[in-house]
Amino acid sequence: MLVFAVETSCDETSVCIMDDNKKIYSHIIFSQEVHQKFGGVVPELASRAHLEIIQKITKKAFQEANIKPKEVDVYAATCGPGLIGGLLVGSTFTKSLAIGLNKPFMPINHLEAHLLSTSFNNEIVFPHISLLVTGGHTQIYLLKSYNNILLLGETVDDAVGEAFDKVAKLLGLSYPGGKQLEQKAKNGNSEIYDLPQPMVNKNNSNFSFSGIKTAVNLLCKKNELNEKFVENISASFQKCIANILYTKLENTILQLRKKKFNILSFSLVGGVANNDYIKLIISKLQNTQKINMIIPKKEMMSDNAAMIAWACIKKFDRKLIDINFKADPRLKV
């Protein structure tokens, strides 16, 4: 089965051609730079940027793959959640190709695609826990099987990626600042600032991060924003976030084990899984809880169309083929 997939839910325009033997013929990720000067993603600009580039990279992907559009068996696109303008561009474009070529169209849930991304390069043993950390979501899921996925908890305010970008902005780093903050943290002392860890001791799987940002803001007002301060606060902030994620995930594993779920493995997915420090702290659960950690392939961590193609292959079912599926900005797993 040959799949052509499109991802346009936020500020990455991406297309991928993949077959069910996991062969990736072409995978293009175009990161929009138009948002940099605004310090965050501007939805209207994102939609326009998707519209400008999608046709070009689709043509390029077919050329690179040396495949003709009519050879594709299924067309798939992210249909939510995400920014509605981008979702409409990607899904309508892909549906049009499917209609024109008389091929099936499969709508894909972006979050589900993140959750399934680890199964491309790993064997998932069920029941399985997944911590999804991105710029828009911070959630813990229980996967009983590929078709039985349960949301256990999520952030009540900011997502982790969002908190990173907002704190980076307070520290004067340019957008998107999460990556730069990680670099600054490498030279900083994480013991200098003791930042709050909201909800960490609550007996549930929910998170809250906006209070940490407020605490950083107060410290920024009291201190001079010099290099040393930026490095130390970056290190302290990153440590605080990693500790919250670690504690919440550990607590969730313990709670599930009490309920007789034999959890043997967990995954860390989404763009924030690229953060080496967070990955290192979370990986400690392998020893403390005797549990195996799996992560997606590097190119399938941040938003990308390979995970959309893979989700299509993994979930393919004639019943799910739906040309009338409407893009939904709040689509749930």
Q: Minimum CB separation from Zn ion for residue 302, in Å?
A: 7
Q: Of residues 7, 11, 182, 303, which one binds Zn ion by CB under 5 A?
A: 303
Spell out the residues 6+ positions from residue 227 whose beta carbon is closer than 8 angstroms to its own.
none
Nearer CB in complex with Zn ion: 176/198:
176
The reply to whether 12 sits near Zn ion by the rule CB under 5 A is no
Of the candidate spans 49-57, 129-137, 200-208, 215-223, the one that interacts with Zn ion by CB under 5 A turns out to be 129-137
Of the candidate spans 32-40, 92-100, 148-156, 303-311, the one that interacts with Zn ion by CB under 5 A turns out to be 303-311
Nearer CB in complex with Zn ion: 115/171:
115
Q: Of residues 134, 208, 236, 252, which one binds Zn ion by CB under 5 A?
A: 134
Spell out the residues 6+ positions from residue 65 whose beta carbon is closer than 8 angstroms to its own.
17, 25, 26
Q: What's the CA gap between 142 and 127, in Å, rounded?
A: 7
DSSP annotation string for 285-298: HHHHTT-EEE---G
Q: What's the CA gap between 132 and 138, in Å, rounded?
A: 6
Please state whether the peptide bond connecting residue 104 to the residue before it is cis, i.e. omega within 30 degrees of 0.
no
The reply to whether 11 sits near Zn ion by the rule CB under 5 A is no
DSSP state of 155: B
The reply to whether 162 sits near Zn ion by the rule CB under 5 A is no
> What are residue 128's DSSP bridge partners?
143, 265
Of the candidate spans 46-54, 242-250, 301-309, 320-328, the one that interacts with Zn ion by CB under 5 A turns out to be 301-309
Nearer CB in complex with Zn ion: 74/308:
308
Nearer CB in complex with Zn ion: 182/303:
303
DSSP state of 118: G
Residues lying near Zn ion in the complex (CB under 5 A)? 134, 303
